[in-house]
Amino acid sequence: MGVRSVEEYTAHVAELLSPLLSPPPVRVDLSDALGRVLAEDVHSPVDLPLFRNSQMDGYAVDAASVAAAPVTLPVLGVLAAGPAAPARHTPGTALRIMTGAALPEGADAIVPVEDTAGDHRSVTVHRAREAGEFVRERGSDVRAGMLLLSSGNRLEPRHLAVLAAVGLGAVVVRRRPRVAVITTGAELVDAGTTPKPGQIFDSNGLALASGARANGADVVVVQRSSDDPGVFRALLARAVSAADLVLTSGGVSMGDFEVVKDVLAPLGGQFGHIAMQPGGPQGATVVDGVPVLSFPGNPVSTLVSFEMFARPHLRAAAGLPATEHYTLPLAGPLRSPQGKRQFLRGRVAGDAVELVSGPGSHLVAAMAWADVLIDVPADVTALDTGELVKVVPL
């Protein structure tokens, strides 16, 4: 596809990944629903409170019987919160009642215990109460049929609380985007093992998997391929059968053994150079209906590619807020190559942003120390201290 601008390629990727934004709904238990996004409006199946009950610990009375307070009333029993047959109130008497217990039929007010003196047999009520005082009426919080939460709502603890309160044990949410990761390179070995001469530790598998997870995706498989096309093809088949998005790293540039490009380009994949640094070589393919984004294998290029081309779409699919870009003045001058949009590792220090490394795409330590990417437009070659730059929070 030759050299493309970041803007063109971003638009192309957005189109390929658009199916992520309409995932199928799945039903999950409320206990598994934290952070999930509702796929349907939720209406209450019940009134809340479910029944008329006491707002206070005290005495259930009828207002008429306490109008001439202070009055002393016989206490005919105790109503605790909990399962119980409906009780009945006799005018001119009182029932001791606990917060949350159902009001006895015929009672219309609660006298809080603080306003009384008495024992199990009789109570003196010190002040009059109007009908309805300290009574929680059925349906006064929520009416059956009322819209509680709308489709698209990301479920926080307080949302789970209201869903539980109306008795819903499960809820229909968007399926999380399912992501598969394939790293490539005969030189890669697992961290925690001992590399042979010529081998290096694979950081891209973990970077892409944890990046996907941190942005709301389910990572369904993380695999590593050799440079053998047959091996890569087999891993790819497994990935596209399990995932909504496949991310690969490595095998996309100008070498003799570019397994990702060699397998995917014949399947219609578009491979070429994007006018950006790092992360220039990129590929995008659709395999069996599943988008496959192919990032370069250099660890920093992989991370920057993920930030640019995968993260915004995963966040949108997961119902997470978009990462807000903003501008900051530069703490020092910088230079940038003509014709390439550059994403430099930066760190916010006070009210400015400073560089934490040069442009070298292998500086994975500097990437770890950065908290933003500094976005330098393609036509800018030099910026002075204090000039405003766009930054992308990591």
Residues 208-237, one symbol each (x = binds a second copy by CB under 8 A, - = not), give -xxx-xx------------x----------
Strand, helix or coil for residue 303: helix
Quick check: 38 binds a second copy (CB under 8 A)? no
- Cβ proximity to a second copy, 71 vs 98, nearer residue: 98
Task: Please report, as residue ranges, which positions from 173 to 212 form the binding site for a second copy (by CB under 8 A).
Answer: 185-187, 190-193, 195-207, 209-211
Which listed range, 15-23, 92-100, 174-182, 374-382, lies at the site for a second copy (CB under 8 A)?
92-100
Angstrom distance (rounded) from CA 79 to CA 99:
9
Quick check: 255 binds a second copy (CB under 8 A)? yes
Quick check: 21 binds a second copy (CB under 8 A)? no
- Cβ proximity to a second copy, 209 vs 383, nearer residue: 209
On the 0-12 / 13-18 / 19+ scale of CB atoms within 10 A, 120 is: exposed
Quick check: 2 binds a second copy (CB under 8 A)? no
Quick check: 160 binds a second copy (CB under 8 A)? yes
- Cβ proximity to a second copy, 210 vs 241, nearer residue: 210
Task: Please report, as residue ranges, which positions from 270 to 329 form the binding site for a second copy (by CB under 8 A).
Answer: 297-299, 303, 306
Quick check: 380 binds a second copy (CB under 8 A)? no
- Least Cα distance to 106 among 61, 57, 55 occurs for 61
Quick check: 106 binds a second copy (CB under 8 A)? no
Count of positions on this chain that bind a second copy (CB under 8 A): 96
SS (H, E, C) 106-136: CCCEEEEHHHEEECCCEEEECCCCCCCCCEE
Name the E strands within 161-309: 170-174, 178-184, 188-189, 200-201, 218-225, 245-249, 270-274, 276-277, 281-287, 290-295
Minimum gap (Å) between residue 180 Cβ and a second copy: 15
Quick check: 363 binds a second copy (CB under 8 A)? yes
Minimum gap (Å) between residue 74 Cβ and a second copy: 18
Quick check: 63 binds a second copy (CB under 8 A)? no
Among 71, 165, 265, 348, binds a second copy (CB under 8 A): 165
Residues 322-361, one symbol each (x = binds a second copy by CB under 8 A, - = not), give --------------------------------------x-
Minimum gap (Å) between residue 194 Cβ and a second copy: 8
- Cβ proximity to a second copy, 63 vs 206, nearer residue: 206
Strand, helix or coil for residue 49: coil
Minimum gap (Å) between residue 159 Cβ and a second copy: 5
Angstrom distance (rounded) from CA 95 to CA 78:
6
Backbone angles phi, psi at 367, to 5 degrees: -60, -40
Is the peptide bond preceding residue 278 cis, with omega within 30 degrees of 0?
yes
b/e sequence 188-198, b meaning 16+ C-beta within 10 Å = beeeeeeeeee
Among 131, 161, 237, 349, binds a second copy (CB under 8 A): 161
Strand, helix or coil for residue 273: strand
On the 0-12 / 13-18 / 19+ scale of CB atoms within 10 A, 37 is: buried
| Residue 309, both tokens | 């081309």
Quick check: 148 binds a second copy (CB under 8 A)? yes
Query: Is-contact 394 370, C-beta < 8 A?
Result: yes
- Cβ proximity to a second copy, 256 vs 324, nearer residue: 256
Quick check: 168 binds a second copy (CB under 8 A)? yes
Minimum gap (Å) between residue 129 Cβ and a second copy: 17
Angstrom distance (rounded) from CA 107 to CA 109:
6
Quick check: 94 binds a second copy (CB under 8 A)? no
